[in-house]
């Protein structure tokens, strides 16, 4: 009889579909990025990212506890200072907003979650680039590395379990690893932003951190058409001691996530970034899509591509749905 093969037999009931599901999505696989801003007396909404805010130190603590109680696997913290300079000196200041917020959360949460820090200068520089500039206005790779080393040590001292160097400077993982080991932070892990593309989807994030950037970051972030280059970047970071690696953005680069997962011997993260979040939220607000179903479909697609963990602004909410 035709057809002899009937795959629909395995889709007949919710229980059957659950039994044969190939891809899991669990709260522990989700990491919540959070923003904390200096000088606020109340959370400041981010217009292009509905539901996301710049936190005060107090509201950050409360929201972090709620997210951890919802079951998220970790928190990635970004700091927004009141004052900036060409060197991004607030990034290495032990009393800078990111470092004091890290101490707040480590005191509040201890080891009950994985506390991560963005190890990059862009939020702290008055020109908005991820590194310091030379006399010609070009990002100086090696001078930037020296500041990354200092920033990494400051964040580890403040309580971060994991550092996330996201600036795409050549050699950043090795420099940070050596700096941490030299001062006794050998157990602090590095989640390397190994594959970070110069994407148009970062727009809302720049509002979130009040970015001062003029121009673009194409001299250090990757060209969107390059895949072999991405694997080279991944291999270099692994050789320098990365404990985990990341692909950013996620949705336009699912093929790159798959390739990274096939190659990497360490866990692979993917960042479901601000523009991806904003598109879904805008469409849902207009009634064009079902919000919860779409969010879970997006996150499942990233897991199916091979990501072991996902940074997403839906982390806490999705964790509650999944639980």
Residue tagged active-site, from 83, 218, 248, 258: 248
Residue tagged active-site, from 196, 214, 218, 258: 196
Please report how the helices 291-305 and 254-263 are oriented relative to each other, as an axis angle in degrees rounded to 10. Answer: 40
Residue 167: pLDDT over 80: yes
Phi, psi (degrees; rounded to nearest 5) at 175: -65, -45
Per the annotation, the verdict on 196 as an active-site residue is yes
Per the annotation, the verdict on 248 as an active-site residue is yes
Strands 53-55 and 44-45: what pairing? antiparallel
pTM of the predicted model over 0.85: yes
* Measured distance CA(254)–CA(271) in Å, rounded: 11
Q: How far is CA 188 from CA 111, 158, 214, 239, in A?
A: 13, 11, 34, 17
Give per-residue pLDDT as tens, 96-147: 999 999 999 999 999 999 999 999 999 999 998 999 999 999 999 999 999 9
pLDDT band at 170; cut points 50, 70, 90:
very high
Helix (H, G, I), strand (E, B) or coil at 196: strand
pLDDT band at 250; cut points 50, 70, 90:
very high
CA 262 to chain centre: 21
Percentage, residues of the chain above pLDDT 70: 100
Residue 203, pLDDT score: 87
Q: Which of 236, 222, 276 is nearest to 245 (CA)?
A: 236
Helix (H, G, I), strand (E, B) or coil at 197: strand
Q: Which two tokens stand for residue 175?
A: 């420099």
DSSP for 22-69 reads -----GGGEEEEEEEETT-SS-EE-TTSTT-EEEPHHHHHHHHHHHHH
């Amino acid at each position: 009889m035709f057809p002899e093969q009937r795959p629909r037999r395995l889709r007949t009931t919710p229980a059957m579909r659950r039994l044969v599901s190939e891809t899991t999505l669990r709260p522990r696989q989700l990491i919540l990025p959070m923003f904390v801003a200096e000088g606020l007396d109340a959370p400041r909404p981010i217009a292009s990212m509905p539901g996301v805010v710049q936190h005060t130190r107090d509201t950050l603590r409360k929201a972090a506890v709620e997210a951890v109680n919802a079951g998220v696997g970790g928190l990635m913290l970004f700091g927004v200072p009141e004052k900036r300079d060409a060197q991004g000196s607030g990034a290495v200041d032990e009393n800078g907003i990111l470092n004091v917020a890290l101490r707040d959360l480590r005191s509040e949460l201890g080891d009950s979650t994985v506390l991560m820090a963005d190890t990059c200068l862009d939020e702290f520089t008055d020109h908005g680039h991820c590194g310091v500039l030379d006399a010609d206005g070009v990002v100086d790779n090696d001078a930037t590395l020296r500041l990354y080393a200092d920033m990494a040590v400051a964040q580890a001292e403040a309580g971060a379990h994991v550092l996330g160097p996201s600036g795409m400077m050549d050699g950043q993982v090795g420099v940070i690893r050596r700096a941490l080991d030299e001062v006794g932070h050998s157990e602090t892990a590095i989640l390397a932003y190994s594959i970070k593309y110069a994407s148009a989807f970062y727009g809302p994030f720049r509002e979130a951190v009040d970015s001062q950037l003029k121009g673009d970051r194409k001299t250090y972030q990757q060209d969107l058409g390059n895949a072999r280059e991405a694997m080279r970047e991944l291999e270099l970071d692994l050789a320098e001691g990365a404990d985990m690696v990341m692909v950013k953005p996620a949705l336009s680069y699912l093929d790159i996530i798959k390739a990274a997962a096939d190659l990497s011997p360490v866990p692979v993260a993917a960042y479901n970034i601000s523009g991806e979040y904003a598109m879904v939220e805008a469409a849902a607000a207009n009634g064009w899509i079902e919000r919860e179903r779409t969010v879970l479909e997006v996150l499942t697609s990233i897991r199916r591509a091979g990501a072991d963990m996902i940074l997403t602004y839906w982390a806490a909410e999705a964790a509650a749905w999944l639980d």
